[in-house]
Amino acid sequence: MNITVLYVGSSLLAPLKNAEQEINRVHKLDVYVAPYNFGAALSDAEWTAVENDLSKAEIVFVIHVMDGENASRLLAALERYKQQHRAVIVINCMADLMRRTRMGKLNVEALADGVSSNSEKGRVKPFQLIASIGSWVGK
């Protein structure tokens, strides 16, 4: 199973690679994690590597990506490889990226485009509800 993780920060690389090794050791799985730090704009060569891994990924995690250039290139790549990805999990990112979250029947983009739902305080758009839940979980 190929997993691509696009994140901002310096503390995730080692834990991601350790988790990959531990999962493979304990469960005898063939998991490959391709981590990329999106803390700064990537060069064209780096984007070629990202796109290559995204084209093979079954699961994609996007964590705290706020850089406009990286986000716009990533949005295009996620659209290109949409059929390849079984799940895209976007955590604490720009709204356009957050809408790309989908796991099984959960598709945040479809919810965001859907009809508003009822709440005690009136009408709440589904995307606002998910953003609020995500904010609460982050706390």
Please state the pTM of the whole predicted model: 0.79
pLDDT (0 to 100) of residue 126? 57
Give the pLDDT mean for 70-95: 94
Lowest mean pLDDT among 57-66, 85-94, 96-105, 119-128: 119-128
Q: 44-52 contacts: CB < 8 A, separation 24 or more?
A: 47/73, 50/4, 50/6, 50/74, 50/77, 51/77, 51/80
Residue 2's φ and ψ, nearest 5 degrees, are -100, 130
Domains and CATH numbers, the chain: 2-104 (3.40.50.1700), 106-139 (no CATH)
The 10s digit of each residue's pLDDT in 22-70 is 999 999 999 999 999 999 999 999 999 999 999 999 999 999 998 888 9
pLDDT (0 to 100) of residue 115? 47
Structure tokens at 54: 């995204």
Give the H or E element holding residue 88.
Answer: strand 87-91
The 10s digit of each residue's pLDDT in 7-21 is 998 889 999 999 999
Whether 134 shows a pLDDT value over 70: the answer reads no
CA dihedral sign of residues 47, 53, 55, 60: negative
Q: Name the pLDDT band for 107 (thresholds 50, 70, 90).
A: confident
Whether 112 shows a pLDDT value over 80: the answer reads no
How far, in Å, CA of 45 to CA of 4, rounded?
Answer: 17
Q: Which residues contact 58 (CB under 8 A, 6 or more apart)?
A: 1, 2, 3, 84, 85, 86, 87
Count of alpha carbons within 13 angstroms of residue 59, beta-carbon side = 10
